[in-house]
A and B are shown apart, each in its own frame.
Chain A
């Protein structure tokens, strides 16, 4: 196990370097950060040259990248163009987005697994068909559509929740945004659970359990669920990273000042240190989540052993 973890961590290094270099390349060569700094005015050439030098922008790209990575390793993510430390932006934004992601994950786990079990146990019946159709519809609705429609209904028309989230973003205000964020993944969790349950419910060990006369509830929770949830856990693990980076739309609709908000502002204003810094963290989260999922495999399914 220990050796496996080390091997996987080593394999992650080239991917980490590659991904961060790619985003670095995209941000610094496709756009012009100095021009963006001046907005729609043309910068004075001498000032522009001085800023370029200060930000190492006159060096070749790989040197800039090395310099940047060297800074990151010492915990210095640079300064956003408005003078705020990027780490300061992060310490404000990440807790908010983490709470939002948690709400979304809890929502998709609870509702998705319940729906998946219900439809998986009644395969081919009307419950199953309607759940399947429902998941198709849910997947098809883009987040900006479900976000505005639910905000309009719950926030504006019925007044059940505040339509926008306050700056502190307490968990109770994040419930509706969390639901919106988790909707697409909810459909995937439901479908994965259903397929898995439907397949496993015909397995020999279930027949044995039924033949032994175990109560139905115990068969489902102890035998069927434990074996069926492995693909679901995989999905949820990789989804954590996706949700944290994919909250741009949700955070915009509900005015949440989290990672998605900072990234959107950063991209719009071509605020390169912010964008590269946040994406670097997201890439790390994404890679670690994938590793964690692989390790969880072995815990959930004792047949899998990592040498």
Chain B
């Protein structure tokens, strides 16, 4: 919260000076904008590079899991491979990280599990950003009774604990696919973005460029989309990136609790839940999916953190 308001207070000011100049010149001597500045910063940040590579790898894993393993994540072999220990020498083979309680290759399940996590994370973040962003923008720009109404609505949805609410929604579904789990997370998850967007819009709606656009006779839609949005979106992007990691973590938590995804969907949360009963004699069954969730969440949170630092030099 305090971080977000700081960001909204400093960002528009920097942008304000950069934008009018760059519009005036077309001879190539462009002053650096907030975004190009941020991009220069990011490329030199090792944390950003590391997280970007990790995320790229995850995306490839999501799209083409068979590139990483030949084994099937659902073929169990109870006789030959029940809880078999990892063979760390055989990197990337089916035996690499051992087998779980149903004799399924843990490495294959890690690879195929990426899909559920990444889809839930991306879908929820996209939906939450669109809906929360819209609510926040309307509340912030129009103010008055609309703001009171939308802000109270945000308060109401924020008043219910996130995980708890998602659980209550999910119990009413018999088949809990990736889309159902995503919908449950969106249902209560949009409030954070709405609040950030509202604060951000309020802090830049009085700016000179908005007044100028109004004086030139620009319509409300044009002002919102062409003038307010580009200047108010930076803190939202930061929060959304960090939240993406949180949604992946939430999906894994729900699946672990048995209220999220269920077999035959391959999900790291399900695997952690299955591994907890064998924690004493075969800790690898729990540890590898747990590690995978943590690394994935870390990648997105690291990315968000790097973007935040690049966009808001004051925090450095």
Chain A residues proximal to chain B, CB less than 8 Å: 14-16, 18-19, 22-23, 26-27, 30-31, 133, 136-137, 139-145, 148-149, 151-152, 156, 192, 195-196, 231, 234-235, 242, 245-246, 248-249, 252, 263-264, 267-268, 270, 275, 279, 282-283, 286-287
Contact = CB atoms under 8 A, between A and B. Distances in A.
Contacts of A235: 1-2
A283 B158 CA distance: 10
Nearest to B187: A26
25 contacts: A14-B152, A19-B155, A22-B160, A31-B168, A31-B172, A136-B301, A136-B302, A137-B298, A139-B297, A140-B298, A141-B294, A143-B253, A144-B253, A145-B294, A148-B279, A156-B280, A192-B3, A196-B2, A234-B1, A235-B1, A245-B164, A264-B257, A279-B161, A282-B164, A283-B160
B109 to A, nearest CB: 16
Interface string B271-299: 01000100110010011001101110110
Nearest to A199: B314
B294 A267 contact: no
Given A22-B156, A22-B157, A156-B279, 15 more contacts: A14-B156, A15-B152, A18-B159, A30-B169, A136-B302, A140-B245, A141-B297, A148-B286, A148-B290, A149-B290, A156-B280, A234-B1, A242-B161, A245-B161, A268-B259
Instruction: Give the bracket for the number of chain B residues in contact with chain A.
Output: 35 or more
B253 A231 contact: no
Nearest to A249: B253
A148 B272 contact: yes
Contact of B160 (A19, A148, A151, A267): A19
B279 to A, nearest CB: 6
Given A18-B159, A145-B294, A263 B164 contact: yes
B255 to A, nearest CB: 10
B66 interface: no
A149 B301 contact: no
B279 A152 contact: yes
Given A18-B153, A19-B159, A192 B2 contact: yes
B249 interface: yes
Given A139-B301, A156-B280, A248 B171 contact: no
A140 B297 contact: yes
B168 A27 contact: yes
A151 B294 CA distance: 17
Contacts of A279: 160-161, 164
Task: Identify the interface centre among A136, A140, A149, A246: most chain B CB within 10 Å of its CB.
Answer: A140
A27 B160 CA distance: 12
Contacts of A249: 163, 253, 256-257
Nearest to A19: B159
Given A148-B290, A283-B160, A136 B253 contact: no
Contacts of A282: 161, 164
B21 to A, nearest CB: 29
B168 A246 contact: no
Contacts of B76: none
A234 B4 CA distance: 14
A253 B57 CA distance: 32
A18 B156 contact: yes
B150 to A, nearest CB: 12
